[in-house]
Amino acid sequence: MEYLPIFLAAVAGLLITLAAIPFIIRRTAAGTMELHRSFHHTHKQPVSRLGGVALALAFALVGLVALLLFPQAGSEARLHWVIYSTALAMFGLGLWDDLKPLGARKKLLGQVLISGVACALGLRIGAVSGVFGGSYDLEWLGPVLSVIWLVALTNLINLIDGIDGLAGGIALMLMGLLVYVGHSWQLAFPLLCAAGMVGALAGFLRFNFPPAKIYMGDGGAYFLGFLIGALSLINSHKGSVMAALLAPLFALALPVLDVTLAILRRGLKGLPLFRADRSHLHHRLLSSGFTRTRAVLVLYGISVVFLLMAFGVFWSQGRLVPIFFGFACLLLLLAARSFSFSRNWFSVGRVLGNSLEMRREIQYALALSHWLELEAQRSGSLETLWREYTFLTGKLGLTQVRLRVAGEERLWQRENQPQSEKRLRGEFDLAGDGSTRVSFEADADEMTPQLFEHMAELAAEAWVKAATRWRVETGQPVRFTPGLEAARSEPAQTVAVASSVTTSR
Domain membership of residue 127 (yes or no) is yes
Q: What does the pLDDT average to over 360-367? A: 87
Are residues 95 and 234 part of one domain? yes
Domain stop point among 227, 250, 273? 250
- Residue 1, pLDDT > 80, answer no
pLDDT greater at residue 313 or residue 340: 313
Residue 410 counted as domain residue = yes
φ, ψ for residue 340, nearest 5 deg: 60, 40
Number of DSSP helices (H) and strands (E) in the chain, helices first? 18, 6
Residues near 427 by beta carbon (within 8 Å), at least 6 away in sequence: 437, 438, 439, 440, 501, 502, 503, 504
Contacts for 115 with CB less than 8 Å, ≥ 6 apart: 86, 146, 147, 150, 151, 154, 226
CA distance 93 to 151: 13
Helices assigned H by DSSP within 277-320 = 281-287, 292-315
Instruction: Categorise residue 457: left if φ over 0, alpha if ψ from -120 to 50, beta otherwise.
Output: alpha
- Whether residue 210 contacts residue 164, with contact meaning beta carbons closer than 8 Å, is answered with yes
Give the closest residue to 465 by CA, choosing from 401, 373, 383. Answer: 373
Asked if the structure places residue 290 within a domain, the reply is no
Question: Cα(56)–Cα(472) distance, rounded to whole angstroms?
Answer: 30
Q: Which of the two residues, 313 and 116, has the higher pLDDT score?
A: 116
Q: Are residues 159 and 44 in the same domain?
A: yes
Instruction: Work out the number of other CB atoms within 10 angstroms of the CB of residue 106.
Output: 13
Residue 492 domain-assigned?
no
228 sits in which H/E element: helix 217-236
Please indicate, yes or no, whether residues 36 and 152 belong to a single structural domain of this protein.
yes
Instruction: Evaluate whether residue 53 is within a structural domain.
Output: yes
pLDDT digits (tens, 9 = 90+) for 385-413: 999 999 999 999 999 999 998 888 899 99
Whether residue 235 has pLDDT greater than 80: no
Checking if the pLDDT of 98 tops 80, the result is yes
Residue 494 is predicted with a pLDDT of: 39
User: Residue 4 to residues 59, 66, 176, 192, 203: CA-CA distances in angstroms?
Assistant: 18, 13, 16, 11, 20
| Cα gap 54→90, rounded to integer Å | 15
**373 and 240 in a common domain:** no
- Overall domain count for the chain: 2
Q: Could you tell me if 452 and 64 are in contact, meaning their C-beta atoms sit under 8 angstroms apart?
A: no
Q: Which of 424, 274, 265 is nearest to 355 (CA)?
A: 265
Does the residue 153 lie in any domain? yes
* Full domain range(s) for residue 403: 355-474
Predicted confidence (pLDDT) at residue 134 exceeds the cutoff of 60: no
Residues 111 and 227 reside in one and the same domain: yes
Q: Does the global pTM surpass 0.85?
A: no
Which of 250, 283, 305 is the last residue before a domain boundary? 250
Q: Which of 232, 164, 177 is nearest to 204 (CA)?
A: 164
Summarised one tens digit per residue, pLDDT across range 184-216 is: 656 688 899 999 999 999 999 999 988 888 999
Mean pLDDT of 48-61: 94
Q: Would residue 323 count as lying in a domain?
A: no
Domain boundary pick from 250, 272, 290: 250
- The 10s digit of each residue's pLDDT in 144-176 is 889 999 999 998 888 888 788 888 999 999 999
pLDDT tier for residue 448 given thresholds of 50, 70 and 90: confident
361/240 same-domain check: no
Assess if residue 258 is contained within a domain. Answer: no
Together in a domain, 8 and 121:
yes
pLDDT at res. 354: 54
The region of weakest confidence among 69-78, 269-278, 424-433 is 269-278
pLDDT of res. 373: 92
Distance separating the N- and C-terminal Cα atoms of the chain: 65
Q: Are residues 28 and 141 in the same domain?
A: yes
Q: Which residues pair with 401 in a beta bridge?
A: 412, 440
What confidence tier does 311 reach under pLDDT thresholds 50, 70, 90? confident
pLDDT for the residue 481: 73
Going by C-alpha positions, the residue among 425, 441, 413 that lies closest to residue 504 is 425
Can you tell me the distance from the alpha carbon of 98 to that of 85, in angstroms, rounded to the nearest whole number? Answer: 20
As a whole number, mean pLDDT of residues 313-332 equals 75
